[in-house]
Amino acid sequence: MSSPGTGAISPICLLAGGLGTRLGAAAAGRPKALVEVAGEPFTFHVLRLLRAAGATRVVYCVGHLGAQIEKTVGHRREGLDIAYSYDGPGLDGTLGALRRARPLLGERFLYLYADTYLRIDYAAAEAAWQRSGLSALMTVLRNENRWGPSNARFDGTRVTAYDKTNPSAEMTYIDYGLGGLSGAALDAAAPGERDLAVLHSVLAGSGELCGFEATERFYEIGSPAALAETDAFLTALSAGGVP
């Protein structure tokens, strides 16, 4: 595992508005972030990871059953200050949710999906982004279709192409899940656009998407199989069985 950074990092947005339909009974009546994994709500594991990485402030973007997250997590946990941004009437989509949360996040922030557990050096990723002078960050993992279809082309410094819908053969990397956006980047897509993937494509095409390569695989709870695998991993991690 990459060593966590020791300094404070920018506010982190957790995108937690998904419906969790693929999880079936495991998510019945509760949001994915609160599904039990290794004996406690999954989001508690994520918050500890983020605090160890140097986070001090987290903003949840919530929609489906979001009030349950606020009630369970509260506004202070694991040494983190925590705030909430709720979808408007109807679902905002991933990009819409980030735009709505902008007043809580400031002009520069990191984000990830609340159903993912990402072992990466968050501080190093942000530092690389800052050095680049670019308006956005995407972390990537060399994938070659191992963890699903590869969707990004990475030249070692920038993500030069991104297409989640129709990826091309030269795309050997996959979006790892941790990203960063500035206010300028948020405004790069059309005002009514709701899909973060579209913004990624626009930023890659304009040369504004800094890339940072992850080396550890990601874990997530988006499906029953992934949930079982992540539960086994975090159970072993809690017992000291994972380096």
Instruction: Judge if 106 and 132 occupy the same domain.
Output: no
What CATH number corresponds to the domain at position 195? Answer: 3.90.550.10
Q: Which long-range contacts (CB under 8 A, 24 or more apart) does 67-75 make?
A: 68/30, 68/31, 68/34, 69/16, 69/31, 69/33, 69/34, 69/43, 72/34, 72/41, 72/43, 73/41, 73/43, 73/44, 73/47
Longest dimension (CA), the chain: 47
The predicted-structure confidence for 36-57, as pLDDT tens digits, reads as follows: 999 999 999 999 999 999 999 9
In the structure, what pLDDT confidence band is assigned to residue 241 with cuts at 50, 70 and 90?
Answer: confident
In the structure, what pLDDT confidence band is assigned to residue 144 with cuts at 50, 70 and 90?
Answer: confident
The predicted-structure confidence for 185-236, as pLDDT tens digits, reads as follows: 999 999 989 999 999 999 999 999 999 999 999 999 989 999 999 999 999 9
The predicted-structure confidence for 63-78, as pLDDT tens digits, reads as follows: 878 999 999 999 999 9
Q: What is the pLDDT of residue 3?
A: 39
Residue 83 has pLDDT above 80, yes or no: yes
Q: Which of 21-25, 99-103, 163-167 has the lowest mean pLDDT?
A: 21-25
Helices (H), the chain: 42-52, 66-73, 93-105, 122-132, 183-186, 196-205, 224-238
Instruction: Judge if 56 and 69 occupy the same domain.
Output: yes
Instruction: Judge if 148 and 110 occupy the same domain.
Output: no
In the structure, what pLDDT confidence band is assigned to residue 6 with cuts at 50, 70 and 90?
Answer: very low
Taking the C-alpha atoms of residue 53 and residue 194, their distance in angstroms, rounded to an integer, is 29
222: its two tokens: 């988006």
Range of the domain at 94: 7-116+219-243
Q: What is the pLDDT of residue 27?
A: 67
**What is the overall mean pLDDT for the chain?**
91
Bridge-based pairing of strands 12-16 and 108-113 is: parallel
- Give a yes or no: residue 186 inside a domain: yes
Instruction: Judge if 149 and 200 occupy the same domain.
Output: yes
Residue 161 has pLDDT above 90, yes or no: yes
Taking the C-alpha atoms of residue 134 and residue 39, their distance in angstroms, rounded to an integer, is 40
- Give a yes or no: residue 41 inside a domain: yes
Do 94 and 175 meet the contact criterion of CB atoms below 8 Å apart? Answer: no
Q: Following CA atoms 37, 40, 42, 46 in sequence, which dihedral angle do they give, to the nearest 10 degrees?
A: -120
Taking the C-alpha atoms of residue 31 and residue 113, their distance in angstroms, rounded to an integer, is 13
Instruction: Judge if 127 and 167 occupy the same domain.
Output: yes
Ramachandran category for residue 55: left, alpha or beta (phi over 0 → left; psi -120 to 50 → alpha):
beta
